[in-house]
Amino acid sequence: MLQSLSIRDFVIVNQLDLEFNAGFTVLTGETGAGKSILIDALSLALGARGEGGITRAGSDKAEISAIFSIADNLEAKDWLSQAELESDDIELIVRRVMFADGRSRAYINGATVTVAQLKELGELLVDIYSQNAHHSLLKPATQRVVLDNFGELSSLAAQVSAQYKTWHQLNQKRVEAEKNTSQYAQELADLRDKANELAQIAITPTEWDELQQEHLRLSNSAGLMVGGEACRELLSEGELSAMHLLIQVQHKLQNLQEFDSALKEATETLDSALIQLEETDRFLNRYLQRAELDPARLTALDASIQNIHNAARKYRVQPEDLSELLEKSQARMAELELFANDGELAKQEAQALAAYMQLATQLSAGRKTAAAKLSTQISAEMQRLSLSGGKFEVALTEQTPNLQPSANGLEQIEFLVAGHAGVAAKPLAKAASGGELSRISLAIRVVTAQKESIPTMIFDEVDVGIGGGVAEVVGQLLKQLGEQCSGTKSGVKTSGRQVLVITHLPQVAALGTHHLRVSKALVDGQTLSTIAVLDEESRVQEIARMLGGIEITDTTRQHAKEMLAR
End-to-end CA distance of the chain: give it in Å, rounded: 28
CATH of the domain at 467: 3.40.50.300
SS (H, E, C) 460-492: ECCCCCCCHHHHHHHHHHHHHHHHCECCEECCE
> Mean pLDDT, the chain, as a whole number?
83
Q: Give the least confident one: 149-163, 203-217, 478-492.
A: 478-492
Rounded Cα distance, 86 and 111, in Å = 8
Same domain? For 11 and 113 the reply is yes
Residue 565 belongs to some domain of the structure: no
pLDDT attached to residue 182: 63
Residue 427 belongs to some domain of the structure: no
Residue 463 belongs to some domain of the structure: yes
Q: Are 66 and 4 in contact (CB under 8 A)?
A: yes
Residue 371 belongs to some domain of the structure: no
| Burial group, residue 249, by CB count within 10 angstroms (0-12, 13-18, 19+) | middle
Q: Are 457 and 123 in contact (CB under 8 A)?
A: no
User: What would the pLDDT profile of 293-304 be if each residue is shown by its tens digit?
Assistant: 777 877 888 888
pLDDT attached to residue 402: 60
Task: Give Cβ neighbours of residue 145 (< 8 Å, ≥ 6 apart).
Answer: 154
pLDDT attached to residue 488: 42
Residue 435 belongs to some domain of the structure: no
Collapsing DSSP states into helix, strand and coil, what is residue 511? Answer: coil
pLDDT attached to residue 494: 45
Task: Give Cβ neighbours of residue 256 (< 8 Å, ≥ 6 apart).
Answer: 263
Task: Please say which residue of 305, 338, 371 terminates a domain.
Answer: 338
> How many CB atoms are closer than 10 A to CB 209?
12
Going from the C-alpha of 239 to that of each of 204, 225, 234, 280, 376, the distances in angstroms are 49, 21, 9, 18, 110
Residue 529 belongs to some domain of the structure: yes
User: What would the pLDDT profile of 180-192 be if each residue is shown by its tens digit?
Assistant: 666 777 777 788 8
pLDDT at 495 over 70: no
Task: Give Cβ neighbours of residue 534 (< 8 Å, ≥ 6 apart).
Answer: 515, 516, 517, 542
pLDDT attached to residue 112: 92
pLDDT attached to residue 54: 82
pLDDT at 490 over 60: no
DSSP secondary structure, 114-178, as one string: -HHHHHHHHTTTEEEEEHHHHHHTTSHHHHHHHHHHHTT-HHHHHHHHHHHHHHHHHHHHHHHHH
pLDDT at 489 over 50: no
Query: How many domains does the chain contain in total?
Result: 2
Q: Which domain holds residue 270?
A: 188-338
pLDDT at 237 over 70: yes
Q: Highest mean pLDDT range out of 219-223, 373-377, 422-426, 451-455? A: 373-377
Residue 149 belongs to some domain of the structure: no
pLDDT attached to residue 162: 94
pLDDT attached to residue 381: 85
Which stretch of DSSP H or E encloses residue 228? helix 221-232
- The average pLDDT across 348-364 equals 93
Q: Highest mean pLDDT range out of 142-156, 285-299, 513-527? A: 142-156
pLDDT attached to residue 74: 84
pLDDT at 435 over 70: no
Model confidence at 492, in pLDDT bands (50, 70, 90)? very low
